[in-house]
A and B are shown apart, each in its own frame.
Chain A
Amino acid sequence: MKAIAKCKNFFKTLSEKLKALPKKLSARFAGAKEILSQGNGKVTASMAVMGLGQLLYRQWAKGAMFLFVQIAFVTYFILTGATDLFGFFTLGTREGNAWYGVEGDNSVVMLIMGILAIFMIVLYIAIYIANVKDAYRIQCAVDTLKEPAAFREEAGALLDKSFHKTALALPVIGVCVFSILPIVFMILIAFTNYGDTIVPPALVSWVGLENFRKILTLGQFAPTFFKIFGWNMLWAVMSTALNYLAGLGLALLLNKACVKGKAIWRAFPILAYAIPGFITLLGFKFMFSYGGPINYYIQQGGGEAVGFLGLDAKWSARFIGLGVNAWISIPSTMLLATGILSNVNTDLYEAARVDGASAWKQFIKITLPYVLFATTPVLITQFIGNFNNFGIFYFLRDGLNIDGYFLASDTDLLINWLYRMSIDNNYYSIGAAISLVIFIITSVISLAVYVLSPSYKQEETFR
């Protein structure tokens, strides 16, 4: 019931926001209108050539910087930018032949460089607007007979008022190039015919929604998709809950006053943390195999060997996966929880103790809300991480086709299935289309959870 109410609430705020949108937009454009109508000759100069207005106002350093940006961009467009941008649309026109040394176009590289060119153009527009706004700001200052801010002052603001701009510049650029660009690339690949025999030097072309049509018309596809999706959701929820609760529990346990030698006790999980994941996974796979040590002892004790990860081992393999994943992830959750617990306001506990609240009550009323608040985003990231946890079942139980599944096993997650289908035969475009579908489903779910979570709504609560 509560959930439904929450959803209703969500949509209500959404519709309100939508209604407010035109107003907001017009408010935005009001600023632009003002500059357009009030801007003087020097601002116009900045509009024609970046930095010119600033130079005319004798703001040498800033003007020179804007001018430099202008020159740099024009050079970039002449050298590669324009060709890259065209390449984005054509994806290459000339097929190479390495046998006779004929150089051709590499469609995929052209696509990437094309995306980069578009990024650059967006960046250019942003700097251009900043340049015009800046010129107008100087105009206003001069008009009101104030001394326009000196360059040194403005540079100083970068460490104070606009500290966030300085601090975020590098991370944003890095994330754009190495995280966002690859994803944009993948999304675009879903609309091409890249893959199978069409890989460079063959020329790739845009095919619109063809890949999605193919997926929808595949009869075998849907049943397996829903089976795997169901298990994938279950897995993500269970493993996230398990890792989170166990990590938190461990941190609380180690926080108890009666525990002596905390550093030593804490070191054991750290051992697990210190060993790279793939080594752990290979080790556990061996441990549970027919020839592994556990079966050795079972057989020594006169029992029959057990196929923990074998053909029929649907649930035992799933539980082993959960356990192994927990073994790998609990230590880092514990570290995190320890850090956060050390930040809880101890006064609250004292007050609670004075009021005679039990330890359990203290946990429920103080610790849990606090920790939950601080870690909701982490919880979501962990959920996503587990949802897309490729390694666990790839290492533990790869290479099986189970009846009733289309080219998959009953422990495979969507990402394993996707990998099997797309990588072995390099069906990049179809793989990208499927991941786009999965991506849309999962992101809608987690975004909704996030937006509805208290830590997003009331960021200021615990201040």
Chain B
Amino acid sequence: MKKTLPAIIAHAAVILALILLMGFLGVIAAGVAAEGSEKFTGELERNVTLRILENDTAKEQGYLKELLEAFNKEYAGYGIVAVDANMDQYTDLEMGGPYGYGPDVLYQANDALMKYVDGTRKHILPVPVEKLDCYAHVDDNAWDAYKVTIDTQEFVCGVPVNIQQPLLYYRKDLLPENWETEWDDDRNGVPDMIENWCDLYRYSQLIRQQSAGSKYGYMKSLNDGYFASGYFFSYGGYVFGGEDGKDTTDVGFSKNDGYLGGKIIRQLASVMNLECTEDTITKNSYSRMAQGAYFATMTTPDVYTMFLKEMVLAGYTEEYAKENLVMTSVPKLPVSGDLEDESQGFREMTVMGGVNGYAISSYTKAPNAALAFVNFATSYNMINRRAELLGISPARGDLAETLGGLNATINENLADGTIYVMPSVRALAQVWTPLQTYCAVLADDALTGKNAYVTDDALKKGIANVDSQIYAAIHTLGGA
């Protein structure tokens, strides 16, 4: 015992001492603060490869290839090569980025991009936007979607490319033949049913009557929060309060006359069928529109080609399809909040929209080259080409004006606030389920004749309950 025990103790002591020594050395080494420096020095890195994450449509339509080729030609002298990152378009930078697996430049929606700079997260770089060519041409509201305040200092972390907003799609050939006389009260040459929701509602009723229930007018999955939230916004509701719309302690769908949105949803449901309580209509609208079973629907501009494809499959020529499938801005809502009461006139509908754009990963090895890429990709010519190939509405005001039509309107909508830009906060993820359930309940209520939400009081209570559920989802677990 006497001989052996010291050997064990010595062994343990040596190992322990070793661990303690190395451990403390490590802690001390970590204590030496590393110096950081500004990344955008203005000096282009040479011989680097940039991985660009673009969305699937840009890839499918060949735009990405064009963009990369043009850029690589321009910057061949510096040895800068931009390549397709070849990742999922919704890739979460937070997952791979810090470990070196993310893209260098990413194109995503503003809420997706800005969740990378929430709280202490700093996964995308603040961009020196004044240096970009597009700076002066993009509306302030679009820039706002990418602004973030950290310690009273304001940063812009993304560069707007295009504006996403819901649009009304309808079949021109399914308008009543006599619309010019019967359905154009203001004689402005635009059918009333695509100008205001009251007439769209009336026309939907008529179609259902005439076809004995086999055809529909306006159809849309009403439980889709992204599209349904617009009805609440139009009557004064909002997602989050605060000056920048990011105060998650103030959930406001029920604020002002927000509850009227629920009333509209109930009424719209009554001209649809139970499929509107789930996502079926969103999915089948492509083929049903082509079959002529639906007259109109609401969705974003980027899926136009899918509708066209289905119409061609249904036996129409492409010219006919292009001629008769029309995209237009959403109709106006009645001030009264009742689709059967136009007496108080109409107001513009506020819709939830977004600003898609580029951001630069904080983990890129070549920030200056990446900035050069973003500058190149947001130039007048490239965005013009993008609009041409993909049918997007550019955020560049100069281009939108030249292109005119819907593009100009969308730009104006953003400027005057009829597009409610998706709040760039993580907590937005908790909004959808409560809102979606409530909208489905409303539609179900109207269609199955439960009629629990007929009175204004019931509607007010219902939407207030949504607010409190969202609040609970965000703050019960997180609240300190």
Contact = CB atoms under 8 A, between A and B. Distances in A.
B274 A290 contact: yes
Interface of B: 1, 3-5, 7-8, 10-11, 15, 18-27, 30-31, 33-39, 94, 98, 118-123, 125-126, 273-275, 277-278, 280-281, 283-284, 362-363, 426-427, 429-430, 432-434, 436-437, 440-441, 444, 469, 472-474, 476-478
Contact of B23 (A82, A309, A407): A82
B1 A36 contact: yes
B472 A406 contact: yes
A363 to B, nearest CB: 45
Given A43-B4, A197-B120, A424-B429, A82 B277 contact: no
Interface residues of A, number: 71
Nearest to A210: B480
Interface stretch (A4-12, A96-104, A247-255, A370-378): A96-104
Contacts of A78: 18, 22
A342 interface: no
Interface stretch (A86-94, A229-237, A452-460): A86-94
Nearest to B120: A202
B15 A86 contact: no
A93 B31 contact: yes
Contacts of A132: 8
Given A311-B440, A399-B436, A425 B23 contact: no
Q: Which of A100, A200, A312 has the most CB of B within 10 A?
A: A100
Contact of A98 (B4, B11, B122): B122
Contact of A305 (B274, B426, B469): B274
A280 interface: no
B476 A220 contact: yes
Given A90-B27, A94-B30, A421-B477, A399 B437 contact: yes
A141 B27 CA distance: 48
Contact of A425 (B35, B122, B430): B430
Interface string A272-303: 00000000000000000111100000000000
A106 interface: yes
A290 B441 CA distance: 15
Interface in A303-318: 305, 307, 309-312
A290 to B, nearest CB: 4
Q: Which of B20, B25, B120, B121 has the most CB of A within 10 A?
A: B120
A85 interface: yes
A99 B362 contact: yes
B11 A48 contact: yes
Nearest to A87: B26
Nearest to B444: A311
A154 interface: no
Given A77-B15, A289-B280, A401-B469, 16 more contacts: A39-B4, A41-B3, A78-B22, A82-B26, A83-B22, A102-B35, A105-B30, A199-B120, A202-B119, A202-B121, A220-B472, A310-B278, A400-B436, A400-B440, A425-B477, A425-B478
A197 B34 contact: no
Interface string A65-78: 00000000010011
A77 B8 CA distance: 19
A78 B17 CA distance: 11
A354 B36 CA distance: 89
A132 B11 CA distance: 12
Given A77-B22, A82-B18, A94-B30, A427 B478 contact: yes
A317 B19 CA distance: 57
A128 B125 CA distance: 50
Contacts of B27: 83, 86, 90, 93
Interface string A16-42: 000000000000000000011101010
Contact of B472 (A99, A198, A307, A407): A407
Nearest to A219: B476
A321 interface: no
